[in-house]
Amino acid sequence: MFKKILIANRGEIACRIIKTARRMGIATVAVYSDADVDALYVEMADEAVRIGPAPPAQSYLRADAILDAARATGAEAVHPGYGFLSESQAFAEVVAKTNGLTFIGPSPDAIAAVGDKIQSKKLAHSANVSTVPGFVGEIVDAAHARRIVEEIGYPVIVKSAAGGGGKGLRIARGESELLQAIHSSHNETQTSFGDGRLFVEKFYPEIRHIEIQVIGDKHGNVISLGERECSIQRRHQKVIEETPSSFLDAKTRAAMSGQAVALAKAAGYDSVGTVEFIVDRHRNFHFLEMNARLQVEHAITEMVTGLDLVELMIRVAAGERLPFAQSDVKSKGWAVEARVYAEDPTRGFLPSSGRLLRYRVPPEGQRGDTALRIESGVQEGAEISVHYDPMIAKICAHAPTREAAVEALSDALDETVIGGIRHNIAFLSAVLHDRRFREGRLSTAFIAEEFPHGFRGRAIDAAAKRRFVATAVATELVRRQRASRISGTLNGPNRAGSSFVATIGGEGFAVADAHVNEGRLFLRIDGEGYAAATDWRPGLPILHLREKEKEFAVRIARLPGCCRVSQGGMQTVVCVRDVRAAELATLMPKKAAVDTSKLLLCPMPGLVSSIGVEVGQEVKAGEPLAVVEAMKMENVLLAERNGTIERINVKKGDNLALNDVILEFA
């Protein structure tokens, strides 16, 4: 077994590998860019080596710098994690050819066979694996792409031949979208993986994305570890995954697993890998691609099988045989994973960056018959950089049933507090509470269909409004109690039955007989009694309300005169005022919003990749105006209305902050 390994990656996956290596008694070496000098994984590793500036092309994609670090520290093996160089045949080859180094992953030949999406489709054909219609080869140019589309018809999907994680994926429903897709996908995949090759295949909007986890060793053994349902996606990136899939029957599951194993064996696959399929409503399935690496969502497979896939990768790389046969693999219970991203769901999931001022997650471990697992690469005070993927954490729940696992995950999200940046926790919670999700009626179009006009927060029902009013009143009562105990102030003792007016979005609620005593809260809301237990203290970001049979974790943030509350994907602002103050508040003038309709504002911090218009040019709604690159993704900014360009305030290469004015309309 190796004594020391180098991790050629960063963030959450680097932390994950370090945990397993530490348990196995293996020392670890981290590599870091200038942006990651204070990162959590650098702190966790036994040694750390700087490999370059923040841009991936100058650091994490530099094989020479990584190999220099391995030689300098005496590492015996290199684990690539996922992303960056994890599916690079050239990197695997150079590691394997370096004296004293082993690549912890598939062999270079296996990566060549399946890691390249074009080659993997050719291999699938030869192994009698059902594939998606399309051109099995690289796009030469736009004219070539047009000829392919003439044969298979729109809509199509433009995909990167290398890498994964949604990078380089674009859907095109017409020629103008096809040309833009080719341009953006090429740039994005070249930046992320150093490989700009693309291909085109038919796009099916009404399908599920289900993948099979496989593992092989260097002795010819390949085993399936079951499936993962990954249909909940946005911008072609997975958001929520689960295992097993509630849609598959035993026959389809066996057939998909059989084809996945056949493909892996045909490739001589000798590590952890994932074979991805699309599945239609009749359970017909087609091979999509094979990821020649560890997947982001591997944790839920570990939770239902009891296996450590990172450990197995390391042992297989060291030449050991798989310690079990196919018949030994058992799946127990249900596991669901939610990916917490630094992004703004209310603005089209645009990435967010900045300082993580607050970061609190619930404790991991067993809670009765459910278990919670959190994989993260950040800590409070960390910087979320514009240079890398915006994932903050993966929160996973395991339980005997799907219903219990989803409920446990929902509760865990409510207990997660993030401050300083935009995030998607409210959106994740809304999905988990969605009736269609609860019933298991999933597809890759789920988000577009359930949130056709974008995400604006889950609708707040009557019970939640009462709960939110009670939360805000409880915080006001507790603060007043604390103030009344300060000697020498004008604050008198807290009255036994205080009266207030609480407002939510202009709707008023009359609150009477409000008091909290020894952890018991009672009040009347519009004449109806409400009672709950709470142990909240000023300064805590979460207030727990224990009603009759259910406990709710409500996130709170104090605002001037009000309180922002959120729970279960619902979020709002509650203002609690004394009766007279509420009367006076109705007389305050309303502040008009600033008119920005003639401005194109930068929706996130990023780099201007291109400006597609000129001063004086007339544009129509939907036409591209500019491209801003952030977190390895190209974001095409479109005109929201017809107009004439009056002024352009930026140029290609400029670094922009949120809401910087890119251009102005006449």
Give the catalytic positions in this structure: 289
C-alpha to C-alpha distance for 650 and 666, rounded to whole angstroms: 17
C-alpha to C-alpha distance for 74 and 331, rounded to whole angstroms: 39
Q: Are 163 and 191 in contact (CB under 8 A)?
A: no
Question: Shortest CA distance to 6 belongs to which of 47, 56, 60, 51?
Answer: 47
Cα distances (Å, whole numbers) of residue 188 to 150, 162, 513: 25, 11, 60
C-alpha to C-alpha distance for 593 and 643, rounded to whole angstroms: 22
Question: Shortest CA distance to 54 belongs to which of 354, 350, 377, 388?
Answer: 388
Q: Which residues contact 593 (CB under 8 A, 6 or more apart)?
A: none
Q: Which residues pair with 665 in a beta bridge?
A: 645
Question: Shortest CA distance to 161 belongs to which of 205, 207, 125, 194?
Answer: 194
Sequence length of the chain is 666
3-state secondary structure of 392: strand
Q: Which residues pair with 31 in a beta bridge?
A: 49
C-alpha to C-alpha distance for 558 and 386, rounded to whole angstroms: 28
C-alpha to C-alpha distance for 229 and 211, rounded to whole angstroms: 7
- Degrees (nearest 5) of the Cα angle 413, 293, 69? 100
Strand order in 27-33's β-sheet? Answer: 47-52, 27-33, 4-7, 77-79, 102-103
What burial class does residue 445 get, using C-beta atoms within 10 Å of its C-beta: 0-12 exposed, 13-18 middle, 19+ buried? middle
Q: Are 342 and 408 in contact (CB under 8 A)?
A: no
Backbone angles phi, psi at 32, to 5 degrees: -145, 150
Helix axes 142-152, 175-193, angle to 10 degrees: 120
C-alpha to C-alpha distance for 238 and 425, rounded to whole angstroms: 15
C-alpha to C-alpha distance for 652 and 303, rounded to whole angstroms: 47
Longest dimension (CA), the chain: 86
Backbone angles phi, psi at 345, to 5 degrees: -60, -25
Q: Which residues pair with 495 in a beta bridge?
A: none
Cα distances (Å, whole numbers) of residue 332 to 226, 564, 594: 11, 40, 55
Neighbours of 427 (CB within 10 A): 25
Token pair of 315 as six digits: 């042992």
